[in-house]
């Protein structure tokens, strides 16, 4: 009695010959007999009908395992959040500069808001925050305005305007507090530069954490450290420790934000809550400063 030949089916085709050979290697490694044969439109991968279901499953698993991960969007936010954060920063320091220079409402904004180590250690906590809005001269102001606008825009795109703005204020405040702890009582510090380096630290650490497992994950931290070294140590009146403290505090906040986002992503509405709360805290700090020394 003549034995019937097993039925042959085309598992996939037509395909490029190279791709069919790749699939054939996978199937043969799993003990599935197959053959690459030329056909209409290209090459075909042929298997016995009885092995077809198993072969398709093995190829599915192979493709699933080797599929490139979809490109990860760097952020759920975008241009609008970046513009809001940058504008909020720019308007805040410009308005405070006008108020300070004109001594608005007959108040000495400089004396009330500057960061003085002895007074901060004596309990005037608000100075760690209010000092971020004061500047010694136009050159000081323009430098902080230029770099701050860029970093705030980028941070707003990545984190949302509220988280970026609140992180900048809180990390800058922490940087000034650390500076006050190690300085003599009469040491005075002002300027948004501590906050500018804080937002740079947030950006650097946040993007570093987001790139886990990638070869270029150290680029953000390296770039942030390079900018800190280039911008943060020059000038006679530069408070180098405050700059490093601001950058380090920003790195801590950036890591915290990245970890929280990976475990429990915030809804966009909470971003507004963080931003508004930080703005109110900044206003409260100035109210306390003017009440105590205005």
Q: Which pLDDT score is estimated for 129?
A: 97
Q: Which pLDDT score is estimated for 286?
A: 96
Instruction: Identify the residue whose tokens are 């909020």.
Output: 88
- Whether residues 145 and 274 share a domain: the answer is yes
- Whether residues 97 and 242 share a domain: the answer is yes
Domain-located, residue 74 = no
- Whether residues 13 and 142 share a domain: the answer is no
Domain total in the chain: 2
Contact status, residue 84 vs residue 268, Cβ threshold 8 Å = no
- Whether residues 27 and 89 share a domain: the answer is no
C-alpha triplet 278, 288, 159: angle, nearest 5°: 10
Domain-located, residue 73 = no
Neighbours of 230 (CB within 10 A): 9
- Specify which residues 188 forms β-bridges with: 116
Please report which helix (H) or strand (E) contains residue 13, including its range.
Answer: strand 8-15
- Whether residues 21 and 84 share a domain: the answer is no
37: domain CATH number? Answer: 3.30.70.1530
pLDDT < 70: residue spans in the chain: 1-6, 12-15, 41, 67-76, 211-238, 294
Domain-located, residue 2 = no
Q: Give me the domain span that covers residue 96.
A: 79-293
């Amino acid at each position: 009695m003549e034995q019937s030949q097993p039925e042959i089916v085309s598992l996939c085709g037509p395909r490029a010959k190279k791709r069919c050979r790749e699939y054939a290697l996978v199937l043969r490694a799993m003990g599935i007999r197959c053959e690459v044969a030329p056909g209409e439109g290209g090459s075909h991968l042929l298997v016995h009908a009885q092995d077809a279901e198993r072969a398709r499953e093995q190829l599915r698993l192979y493709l699933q395992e080797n599929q490139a991960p979809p490109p990860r969007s760097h952020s759920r936010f975008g241009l609008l959040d970046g513009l809001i954060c940058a504008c909020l920063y720019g308007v805040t320091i410009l308005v405070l500069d006008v108020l300070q220079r004109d001594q608005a409402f007959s108040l000495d904004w400089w004396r009330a808001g500057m960061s003085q180590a002895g007074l901060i250690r004596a309990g005037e906590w608000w100075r760690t925050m209010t000092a971020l809005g004061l500047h010694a001269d136009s050159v000081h102001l323009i430098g902080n305005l230029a770099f701050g606008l860029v970093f705030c825009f980028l941070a707003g795109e990545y984190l949302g305007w509220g988280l970026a703005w609140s992180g900048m204020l809180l990390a800058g405040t922490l940087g000034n507090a650390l500076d006050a702890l190690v300085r003599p009582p009469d040491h005075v510090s002002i300027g948004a530069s501590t906050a500018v380096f804080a937002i740079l630290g947030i950006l650097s650490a946040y993007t570093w954490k987001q790139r886990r497992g990638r070869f270029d994950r150290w680029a953000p931290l390296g770039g942030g450290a390079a900018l800190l070294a280039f911008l943060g140590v020059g000038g006679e009146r530069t408070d180098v420790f405050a700059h490093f403290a601001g950058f380090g505090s920003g790195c801590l906040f950036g890591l915290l934000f990245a970890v929280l986002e990976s475990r429990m992503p915030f809804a966009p509405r909470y971003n507004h809550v963080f931003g508004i709360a930080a703005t109110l805290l900044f206003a409260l700090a100035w109210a306390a400063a003017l009440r105590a020394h205005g």
